[in-house]
Amino acid sequence: MEEHGEFLIPASRNEVWRALQDPLVLKQCIDGCEQMTVINADEFECAVTVKIGPVKARFNGTISILEAVQPESYTLKVAAEGGAAGFGQGQAHVQLHETNEGTRLTYAVEGSIGGKLAQIGSRLIQSFSRKMARSFFESFSKQWVA
């Protein structure tokens, strides 16, 4: 499973870069995120309630920032544990390009799930990752629209 996309954000590359590291911003942009705790500059802990169709499960996860090349690109690695529901992991590679209209953000996301979720949800993981990634980057770019 891999999912790509891009958004044009009306802000400078440095501003976008800073926001992408900000745990408060990340919290606001992750659907169902209830808590985001800073462990250190490159690592956060989060609690997210995922609701998709009949499934509603709370996941506790770690988000790590890897391969950061300021202010051009980084990789976000997420590992999450959802108790009885199962577990998931994924990463998003984000790149920022300067353009005349602002910053073009491109992303490539991949993920996988295990446990009971995978038993019944394997046919849905691709559409679900697409939906989550889109919703994240849409909320993220909306910060500059208002």
Partner 1 sequence: MHRFNFRQASSIAEAHSTHAASDDAVYIAGGMTLIPSLKLRLASPNDVVDLSRIDGLSTISSAGGVLSVGATARHCDVAQTTDIPALASLASRIGDAQVRNCGTIGGSLANNDPAADYPAAVVGLGATVHTNSRAIAGDEFFVDLFETALEDGEIITRVDFSIPSRAAYAKFANPASRFAIVGVMVAETSSGVRVGVTGAGACAFRMSSFEAALSSNMSASALDGIAVDSSEFNDDLHASAQYRANLVTVMAKRAVAQLTA
Out of 116, 139, 143, 144, the only residue in the binding site for partner 1 (CB under 8 A) is: 116
Residues 65-104 that bind partner 1 (CB under 8 A): 84-85
- The nearest distance, CB 133 to partner 1, in angstroms, is 12
The reply on whether position 112 binds partner 1 by CB under 8 A is no
The reply on whether position 47 binds partner 1 by CB under 8 A is no
Residues 6 or more apart whose CB falls under 8 angstroms from that of 26 comprise: 20, 33, 36, 44, 46, 63
Name the residue among 97, 60, 96 with its Cα closest to residue 75: 96
Backbone angles phi, psi at 77, to 5 degrees: -110, 130
The reply on whether position 128 binds partner 1 by CB under 8 A is yes
Q: Is the preceding omega at residue 71 within 30 degrees of 0, hence cis?
A: yes
**Closer residue to partner 1 in complex, CB, 70/119:** 119
The reply on whether position 52 binds partner 1 by CB under 8 A is yes
Name the residue among 91, 95, 92, 93 with its Cα closest to residue 71: 95
The reply on whether position 131 binds partner 1 by CB under 8 A is yes
User: Is-contact 104 96, C-beta < 8 A?
Assistant: yes
Considering only the stretches 8-16, 33-41, 48-56, 89-97, report the one whose residues sit in contact with partner 1 under the rule CB under 8 A: 48-56
Q: Which residues bind partner 1 (CB under 8 A)?
A: 1, 52-57, 84-85, 116-117, 119-120, 122-128, 130-131
